[in-house]
């Protein structure tokens, strides 16, 4: 869901031809990436079984990258 949201937030301004709208979309994407990182840390801390799940699913947002 997060990966598709990142792609959507960048593609909508491009589709509409609003290049100035790319600035807030990049800021929004940075905030979403930070939230994902913090959420992952919280899940590791709060849920003991999440560590095993995280070993199986290595990538958080973009398959093959992160």
- Secondary structure element (H or E) that encloses residue 35, with its range: helix 22-46
Residue 21 DSSP code: G
Query: What is the pTM assigned to this prediction?
Result: 0.77
pLDDT the model gives residue 60: 73
Q: Mind listing the pLDDT tens digit for each residue in 16-48?
A: 999 999 999 999 999 999 998 999 999 999 999
Computed over every residue of the chain, the mean pLDDT equals 90
């Amino acid at each position: 869901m997060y990966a598709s949201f990142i792609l959507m937030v960048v593609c909508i301004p491009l589709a509409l031809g609003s290049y100035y709208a790319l600035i807030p979309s990049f800021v929004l994407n940075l905030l979403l990436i930070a939230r994902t990182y913090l959420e992952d840390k919280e899940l590791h801390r709060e849920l003991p079984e999440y560590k095993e799940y995280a070993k199986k699913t290595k990538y958080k947002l973009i398959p093959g990258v992160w």
